[in-house]
Amino acid sequence: MSTTATQAKPQGLALLLDWRRIRFTLILSIAFGLLFSFGWTSGLPSLLIRTVLLGLLAMLAFGLFEQWPKRLPRWLARWVLQVVAVAATMPSATLWIYILSTAPGAPPFWKDSDRLSGFGLLTVLGLLLAPWVALGAVVRQKDALARHQALAFELERTKLEGQAVDARLRLLQAQVTPHFLFNTLANVQELVDSGSPQAAIVLRSLVAYLRASVPRLNETATTLGQELQLVQAYLELMHMRMPDRLQFAVHVDDTALALSCPPMTLLTLVENAVRHGVDPSEEGGRIDIHLQRRGERCVLQVVDTGAGLRQSVGGLGTGLSTLRERLQLAFAGDAQLRVSAQHPRGVCAEVEFPARGTATS
């Protein structure tokens, strides 16, 4: 939306002496002067001077009563006051112009038939034309005000929609963070319950990992490069917990690392593969992560050889369901999350969204 559309209406002298009004008045006054110059006996310059003076005085009357008085009785509309003021200006202004233009010692203009005729012509034409011009200006003003209010309303509506989407994203983010923490702590709990000697090592690594990663979880956006660092740390942690059952590999298109994405997009896919794919499988499994930029699109793919969809607990799970909704909000529906079974076993989870520049949090 342009800045001009939302500018406040000028007030005081700025409105009274608005250049666009002056320009319009000059053009219209000169046009009327030229139109009625036929038969004018005092010469064209004197006629143009009079029509321009009358036009400017009418403009000032229009602008004055546009702002003053600030409050009017209910029965009196502002536009009526402006039109009446312009109409009243015509005969009085014409009278003063003729009085002031009378040379010293010369007879009054009403005793000069030519000047009296000119006075009558300008007065009648002013009374016939000026109120209609003022009325047209009022209509144009109201139309411009209606457009301005419509634009302001649209701007406010867009702003509120943006705030609603942002609030929804933050709410979903607030749901994701404890979900991720509880899942990770549950893995450590399993080691502690089983009396594994790896429990203490994993717990220390987990604390260090959470200390570095939790602040990022509250950011509104991150880069795929930062997201990948988080995922690698998470996988190394999980590998310490089940060294014989988890293998992983990362395949990265370097041009995708600077692209922005919602926080925990890739981490959610990987965590889902570990929790619902590799962990429940007796043989364990392998996780392959692919980050690619395909033209104007970015594709994240996490493929595991774990238990597969049928053995997964709770279908797609809370993490993927929440991720799907976050992507729809973040990219206004221009993002997809696809989950498919792999042969002979395993799951492929793929996220595709517009490739955008470096994220700003």
Reported residue count of the chain is 361
Please give the DSSP secondary-structure letter assigned to residue 347: E
List the CATH code of the domain at 222-354. Answer: 3.30.565.10
pLDDT single digits (tens) 166-198: 777 666 666 666 666 777 677 677 777 777 777
Residue type at 245 in one-letter notation: R
Q: H helices then E strands: how many in the chain? A: 9, 7
Task: Check residue 361 and give its pLDDT.
Answer: 42
Tokens of 224: 């795929």
pLDDT single digits (tens) 282-317: 888 999 999 999 999 999 999 999 888 765 544 556
CA-angle at 120, arms to 115 and 123, nearest 5° = 125
**What pTM, to 2 d.p., does this model score?**
0.56
Which range of 68-72, 82-86, 157-161, 323-327 scores highest in mean pLDDT? It is 82-86
Cβ(90)–Cβ(127) under 8 Å?
yes
Please state the domain extents for the chain: 15-159, 222-354
- The residue to which tokens 């009004």 are assigned: 21
Tokens of 34: 């030229």
CA distances for 202 relative to 17, 72, 199, 255, angstroms: 76, 78, 5, 33
Strand ranges in 144-264 using DSSP code E only, listed in sequence order: 222-223, 246-252, 260-261
